[in-house]
Structure 1
């Protein structure tokens, strides 16, 4: 069993939910996690980020949170999906518009399900990333090091968290990104 490792999640949305606009939806998701017995230890500032791929919808509101959780990664993922559904998330199109996206980014130093599977998904070409999804949870998130909309908020709450495969901290991974990608993520 994974013990209180400080799960890191990325939170985002770009269309209204039953809770309201995307920022209200993110707040409602964090509240719902607490109601389900998953304490929220820290929350980043909220950020506005461009939709990807460009033109696919309105800009996103993104944030990150650190959760206290003493269960298995797959059980936490199921809870995250439950919160998404509670707030009206429908999984229609990969990387499409959404009311809410709760991505499990990392659980301490856990590599899940194994290093080989992680490496395969990390190295997947972009065109395949856009149409394929893994059948199992992959930790840490195989694209986190490439995404300013994940790293900028994570740097607010866990700048010293160290990636268990690359050995890089959140702050180092963020510094590795081109400045223009970091600058696209703007605090609300």
Structure 2
């Protein structure tokens, strides 16, 4: 509610020889091929491909990633990070990310929180998980 139109979300576990930055650039190229153009932050879009994490990788460093994770909600929309931040700073707050991620990587351990995806998802408010509609 309040986040725009309904959307379909999913997760995939992939292996790649690309760096995290190059993999994200590739994802952005796919978005562009599908008709997405970035005009402003958090606008409605036809496609949104995010890089959520990469093993135990923390980018650009632990301090910066932790700072973006702890950013007050009122400041989150002001501007995007100037560089790739991994793990994704909001992943632990979003049922629409964690529920599908738990299907493909339930035992992936968040390198800053020390919790698995399954453990993080279990902390979500039940109403947020219940608001999701699985597709068959």
User: TM-score range with shorter-chain normalisation?
Assistant: over 0.9
1:122-179 Cα offsets, whole Å, 9 max, x none, are 0111111122200100000011000001000001101111001111000000000110
Q: Which runs of 5+ in 1 are unaligned?
A: 1-49
Distance across 2 between alignment mates of 1:141 and 1:57:
21
Indicate yes or no: 2:21 matched with 1:74. Answer: yes
Contact 2:9 2:96 in 1 (8 A): yes
TM (norm. structure 1) is: 0.69
- Correspondence 1:110 to 2:54: no
Are positions 1:161 and 2:108 aligned together? yes
Runs of 4+ that moved beyond 2 A: none
Moved more, 90-99 or 146-155: 90-99
User: Higher RCO, 1 or 2 (CA under 8 Å, sep at least 6)?
Assistant: 1
Residue 146 (structure 1) aligned with residue 89 (structure 2): no
The counterpart of 2:34, out of the listed 87, 96, 102, is 87
- The Cα shift of 1:182 comes to 1.0
Q: Is the 8 A contact 2:58 2:85 kept in 1?
A: yes
Aligned residues: 135
CA distance in 2: counterparts of 1:184 and 1:57, whole angstroms: 15
Q: Does 1:99 align with 2:46?
A: yes
**Root-mean-square deviation (CA), in Å?**
1.0
Q: TM-score, normalised by structure 2?
A: 0.95
Structure (1/2) with the larger strand percentage: 1
